[in-house]
Structure formats: structure tokens, C-alpha cells
């Protein structure tokens, strides 16, 4: 119905670094009326013309067909940079916390929020802006929103229009009970009720007086200038709010003054409710969490812990558990990893989907089941479809519905021996010790490797009579490869019993000799040896270094940024690690410790930020 001026708007910034008083947009359609508005930390208010559009400042405007963009959302500073030595957690001051980037909803968060807000599941990830999900060396392990470009603005506009259209037939579900068919004289009052009850759900926080005024004006424009019916004007409001930064961005500021604690700022109850909800559920707060925020119950660690315990028991938390492992080890990118059909003729989209589904389910079963870190590297319980059962050499499984199975303990144990991980780290026509070793070192030990120089020669091609191990050892003897490959490859050799799609084997396909899956790994200050992937998993399960890295990865996931290189997050990471280790290495204890940590509940003000 109206367009959205979003192109070029940054997706990230540090709270408080945006324009503090940028100009509002101005109406450009029919009618009169000039734009005006005052900025805030993410951008200024949009214009107030007399026709139909809204812009994307801090508050929805009533401008014409294209309201102009409000002020800046801030710079990218403070989102964190790639750590040079992430396992060095000193100094660790108990009075510090990291910066909080301003970020938009990810595609997952957008779709989940619409599901919970409007009970609408018709959109897909293709309908909304996507995220950066790099698999490059030392890339951030999890999905991060990118800047909103023109195509993204178009997608958000189209999504809002589609959702508003879908809402028409069930508009009564979002209206106050007494306002589903109001008399003409009661319409204005019902519109006010709607704005004051449903508006806070869309913005995920209480509305400001100015926002209520702007939305009321927009309703009146729809009802009079556009001659919409009462329900049509309400639908028009919803479409506008779904395109506002109050919905699209994570900036759920509480009413009232900011609470300082030394050099850091305590997150308000609504800010923390949203941070909790999007961390643990990937969606908006529910009624109970909103109520806890309204009652000020999230101002204490105990209050947060109460909600964390409740939320982890909710089925919605399973998606977070699955997403964490799926993203951490890049199994979510399986569709981008084609295989040579002459080598793996059974590999197709159906099998790829089954692999990812199993991988996600496995992670959920560990966290929501025993919760033990050791089980993550040793469990043989899984659920597979018939095509995946074939990969595992299992019989008795038919059809495309997943069936609970026990994997062969002599061949498999834990998440690193699942087909999803082995396929994403496998080559198109065989195994890949480099990629497999790289993922273990960077994602499970938080190691940082230099980017390869441009002169690195390729690994020798598969040759009859020469094993994969021999080919890579030969490659590692090059002076320009020794630095990194002597770390990665000996780790990756442990997975030589698995081919490019995770099928177990004991004979090298080229050398026709018994596979040597022994290897070494730099762990806890020593070089440790193992005979195969199962022994490697056992070493990781008991390694303080792996436990530390696992704690860091959960903190990265919760904050959706790198840890602060100046050490501002170190105390919180150490506290989470301590809770993890003292809690019997239960992953649920770790998640709760992250959610109650100081850097999760507080933030460091941005340089030059004026606190209100």
C-alpha cells in the first residue's frame, strides 16, 4: 500500500551513536503538511504528510507514498572484531560489560515474531532480508544481519503488505474484545485502545506519548483521507507498524531514566525481556515475560533466572538449541555443498535435508535431555530417515519419517561423526582433512588461523596407489603451507574413516590400503594423540580448553557479536565457564549462566553517548 525508504540504512550500530536530532521525512504525495520529528539513538522520526506513506525513523510517520528515512542508526563500531587470542580471558573486571550493537531482526527472528504476533506462518526466509553467514576462515560463527539495501526495503514492504492482507479476514483477533464491530461514535476510542494494547506487542515495549499521537494521526488519515473502513484503517496501521524501526530493529528501550552502575548501564526490564526472548526463543516475549518486565522483575539475577528456567522448558527453546549447533558447524549451509554425482549418486536434496534435520535434532536431544557436554561427543542415539539410514549402514528403517536408532558405537559417537558435519566438511568427491581440522580448531577450540597466502599450491589430485593422508602430508611439506596445515591436517586425519558424505570406511579408496585415522591436536597446552574420531571426541569432551571455547561460543551466540577484544566481556565469560564446570558440565547450566551474566544484562555506553 505504501513504500518504505530503507535502502542503505545500516543494520548495526552501537546504541547511542545514532543521530540525536536528525530531520524527519516529509510527505510527498497528495495533500499538504511537512515532515517533522526529533531523532533518537537509532534514527529520527519520519515525516507527517497527509497521504499514505511511512518512513523508517524511530516512530512511524504519516507521510506520503514514501516517507523519508530518519537519522542514522549509528556506525558499525562496537560490534566486535575478530579476536586474536579469544581464550585469553584476563583482565576480567567484575565491573565491566561490552557494547550492545543495534541490529535488526534476523530472518528467523522476523518469521518467528510474526508467527507469535499474528499467528501467520505464510512467509518464508525468501520473503524477508537475509543475513551474512560466511564460512570464510575466522568468520563469525553465527548469522548476523546485514545493511538494509533497496531490495531488502522492497521485501519488508512486500512482507508487511502480505501480512496485512492476510490479517483482514481475522482482524478481530488483534482488536480489543469490545471493538470488533464498534459503532461509529466508538471507533476513535477503539482505535486508541488498539494502539495502546497491540502497539506495545508490535514494538515489544511500552509506546511513548509521541508514538501514540503519530499512530493515532495515521489511523485518522486512513479513516478520513483514504476513506478506509474502521477495520481497514486498523489493518493499515498494522502494515505501517510492521515497517517501522520499532518492529524491525532491536531497540526496546524502557520508559524512564537510564540506570548507571559505575561505567556501565543496566538494561531496562523490556530491553532484557527482549534480549532473553530472542536469545532463548528467537522470537518476541510472551505474556508472562512481558508481565515480568512490567513488574520490574528482571532487574535482579534471581528474577532473570526464574524466567530462564521457565523459558528453557518451553518447546520454543528447542529451535535455539538446534540453531546454535547448526550455525556453529555450518551444517545450515549444506545446500551450498554439492557432491560429485559419479562418486555419490545417492546424494540429493532429500538426503541433505535429512542430514541437517538429524543434526539439529541431535543437538536438541543432548541439551534438553542429559544436557551433558560429554554426551555431545559420545552419544549414539539419533533419529534417521531411510536414505540417511543407508549412509549409516543401518537396516530396518523405511520411508521419509525419522525413526529413533542407535548408531554403531564402534564407528560413531557424538555430533562430529554425524553425516551432516562430515558432509559439510567433506570434499565433493572424498574426505577433506583440512576443512574438518579447520572446523575443530576454530569452532570448538576457538583457535585463530592466518588467511592462506595466495601462493599456496593445491593439494595433489587423487591418484591410484596414494592415500588421502599421504597426499595431504606431501602438501604440508610446502614451506608456505606448513604453518597452518600442520595444525589442521593432523586433526582432520582423525576423520579419514568417513568419506565425503559421512559413510564409514576402513579402506582408502585410492591406495586400497587400511586407513590410518590417527592424529594429533594441540589441546590444553599439550600435543595430544588419538587413534580415530571417537578418541578425538573423548579428548574434546574432557578438555578445559574445549569447555572454555564452548562457553565463548554460547556468549557469542547470545550477544550476536565477537567478544570485546579489550576484555570487557571476560568476567562474564569466566563466570559462565565456572557455572558450566561447577554444574557438572551441563549445557543448560551454561546457557542460564550466559543469560544471567553481567555483559548480557548490562552494556557499555558508546563513545559520546548522552544517556537519558
Contact between residue 144 and residue 207 where contact means Cβ atoms under 8 Å apart: no
Per-residue pLDDT tens digits for 304-317: 999 999 999 999 99
Structural domain includes residue 217: no
State residue 40's pLDDT score.
31
Please, what is the average pLDDT of the chain? Answer: 85
Residue showing cell 599439550? 526
Residue, of 597 and 12, whose pLDDT is higher: 597
Structural domain includes residue 434: yes
Structural domain includes residue 393: yes
Pairing of strands 264-266, 602-603: antiparallel
pLDDT exceeds 50 at position 487: yes
Ramachandran class of 502: left when φ > 0, alpha when ψ lies in -120 to 50, beta otherwise: left
pLDDT band at 74 (very low <50, low <70, confident <90, very high): very low
**Rounded to the nearest 10 degrees, how much is the dihedral formed by the CA atoms of 197, 203, 204, 205?**
-70
Structural domain includes residue 478: yes
Per-residue pLDDT tens digits for 186-236: 999 999 999 999 999 999 999 999 999 999 999 999 999 999 999 999 999
Structural domain includes residue 340: no
Count of structural domains, the chain? 1
Structural domain includes residue 411: yes
Low-confidence winner among 45-54, 236-245, 292-301, 350-359 (lowest mean pLDDT): 45-54
pLDDT exceeds 60 at position 290: yes
pLDDT band at 93 (very low <50, low <70, confident <90, very high): confident
pLDDT band at 22 (very low <50, low <70, confident <90, very high): very low
Structural domain includes residue 486: yes
pLDDT band at 91 (very low <50, low <70, confident <90, very high): low
Residue 170: Cβ within 10 Å count: 11
Q: Tell me what percent of the chain is helix, strand and coil, each rounded to the nearest 5.
A: 45, 10, 45
- Of the candidates 6, 41, 517, 542, the one whose C-alpha atom is nearest the C-alpha of residue 265 is 41
Contact between residue 108 and residue 323 where contact means Cβ atoms under 8 Å apart: yes
Above pLDDT 70, what percent of the chain?
84
pLDDT exceeds 80 at position 503: yes
Over residues 256-267, the mean pLDDT reads 89
pLDDT band at 612 (very low <50, low <70, confident <90, very high): confident
Contact between residue 541 and residue 524 where contact means Cβ atoms under 8 Å apart: no
pLDDT exceeds 60 at position 168: yes
Over residues 344-353, the mean pLDDT reads 96
The angle formed by the CA atoms of residues 208, 210 and 212, to the nearest 5 degrees, is 75
Cα–Cα distance, 267 to 41 (Å, whole number): 15
Structural domain includes residue 241: no
Domain containing 526 equals 345-541
What are the DSSP E strand ranges found in 235-380?
259-261, 264-266
Contact between residue 467 and residue 508 where contact means Cβ atoms under 8 Å apart: yes
Collapsing DSSP to helix, strand or coil, 471 comes out as helix
Amino acid at each position: 500500500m505504501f513504500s518504505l525508504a530503507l535502502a542503505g540504512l545500516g543494520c548495526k550500530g552501537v546504541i547511542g551513536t545514532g543521530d540525536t536530532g536528525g530531520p524527519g521525512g516529509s510527505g510527498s504525495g497528495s495533500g499538504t503538511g511537512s515532515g517533522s520529528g526529533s531523532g533518537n539513538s537509532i534514527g529520527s522520526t519520519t515525516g507527517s504528510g497527509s497521504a499514505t506513506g511511512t518512513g523508517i525513523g524511530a516512530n512511524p510517520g504519516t507521510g506520503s507514498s514514501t516517507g523519508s528515512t530518519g537519522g542514522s542508526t549509528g556506525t558499525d563500531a562496537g560490534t566486535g572484531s575478530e579476536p586474536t587470542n579469544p581464550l585469553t580471558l584476563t583482565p576480567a573486571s567484575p565491573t565491566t560489560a561490552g557494547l550492545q550493537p543495534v541490529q535488526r531482526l534476523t530472518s528467523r527472528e522476523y518469521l518467528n515474531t510474526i508467527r507469535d504476533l499474528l499467528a501467520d506462518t505464510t512467509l518464508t526466509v525468501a520473503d524477508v532480508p537475509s543475513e551474512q553467514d560466511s564460512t570464510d576462515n575466522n568468520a563469525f560463527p553465527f548469522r548476523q544481519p546485514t545493511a538494509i539495501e533497496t531490495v531488502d526495503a522492497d521485501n519488508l514492504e512486500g512482507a508487511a503488505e502480505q501480512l496485512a492482507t492476510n490479517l483482514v479476514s481475522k482482524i478481530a483477533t488483534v482488536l480489543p474484545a469490545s471493538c470488533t464491530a464498534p459503532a461509529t461514535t466508538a471507533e476513535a476510542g477503539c482505535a486508541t485502545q488498539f494502539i495502546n494494547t497491540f502497539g506495545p506487542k508490535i514494538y515489544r515495549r511500552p509506546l511513548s506519548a509521541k508514538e501514540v499521537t503519530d499512530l493515532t494521526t495515521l489511523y485518522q488519515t486512513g479513516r478520513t483521507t483514504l476513506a478506509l473502513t474502521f477495520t481497514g484503517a486498523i489493518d493499515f496501521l498494522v502494515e505501517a507498524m510492521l515497517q517501522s524501526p520499532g518492529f524491525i530493529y532491536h531497540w526496546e528501550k524502557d520508559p524512564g531514566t537510564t540506570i548507571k552502575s559505575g561505567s556501565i548501564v543496566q538494561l531496562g526490564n523490556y530491553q532484557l525481556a527482549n534480549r532473553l526472548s530472542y536469545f532463548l526463543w528467537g522470537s518476541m516475549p510472551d505474556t508472562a515475560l512481558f508481565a515480568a518486565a512490567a513488574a520490574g522483575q528482571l532487574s535482579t539475577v534471581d528474577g532473570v533466572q526464574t524466567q530462564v528456567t521457565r523459558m528453557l522448558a518451553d518447546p520454543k527453546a528447542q529451535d535455539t538449541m538446534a540453531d546454535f549447533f547448526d550455525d556453529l558447524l555450518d551444517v545450515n549451509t549444506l545446500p551450498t555443498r554439492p557432491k560429485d554425482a559419479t562418486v555419490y549418486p545417492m546424494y540429493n536434496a532429500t538426503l541433505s535435508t535429512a542430514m541437517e534435520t538429524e543434526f539439529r535434532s541431535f543437538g536438541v536431544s543432548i541439551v534438553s535431555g542429559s544436557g551433558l557436554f560429554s554426551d555431545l561427543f559420545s552419544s549414539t542415539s539419533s533419529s534417521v530417515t531411510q536414505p540417511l539410514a543407508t549412509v549409516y549402514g543401518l537396516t530396518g528403517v523405511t520411508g521419509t519419517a525419522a525413526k529413533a536408532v542407535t548408531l554403531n558405537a564402534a564407528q560413531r559417537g557424538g555430533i562430529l561423526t554425524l553425516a551432516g558435519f562430515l558432509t559439510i566438511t567433506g570434499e565433493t568427491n572424498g574426505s577433506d582433512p583440512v576443512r574438518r581440522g579447520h572446523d575443530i580448531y576454530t569452532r570448538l577450540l576457538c583457535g585463530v588461523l592466518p588467511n592462506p597466502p595466495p601462493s599456496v599450491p593445491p593439494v595433489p589430485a587423487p591418484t591410484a596407489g596414494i592415500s588421502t593422508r599421504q597426499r595431504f602430508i606431501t602438501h604440508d611439506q610446502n614451506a608456505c603451507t606448513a604453518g597452518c596445515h600442520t595444525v589442521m591436517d593432523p586433526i582432520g586425519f582423525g576423520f579419514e574413516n568417513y568419506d565425503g558424505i559421512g559413510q564409514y570406511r576402513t579402506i582408502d579408496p585410492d591406495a586400497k590400503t587400511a586407513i590410518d585415522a590417527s592424529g594429533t591436536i594441540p589441546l590444553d597446552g599439550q600435543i595430544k594423540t588419538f587413534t580415530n574420531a571417537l578418541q578425538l571426541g573423548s579428548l574434546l569432551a574432557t578438555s578445559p580448553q574445549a569447555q572454555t571455547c564452548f562457553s565463548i561460543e554460547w556468549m557469542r551466540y547470545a550477544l550476536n557479536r565477537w567478544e570485546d577484544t579489550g576484555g570487557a566481556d571476560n568476567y562474564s565469560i569466566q563466570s559462565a565457564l565456572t557455572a558450566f564446570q561447577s554444574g557438572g558440565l551441563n549445557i543448560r547450566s551454561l546457557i542460564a549462566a550466559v543469560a544471567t551474566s553481567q555483559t548480557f544484562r548490562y552494556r557499555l555506553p558508546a563513545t559520546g553517548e548522552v544517556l537519558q
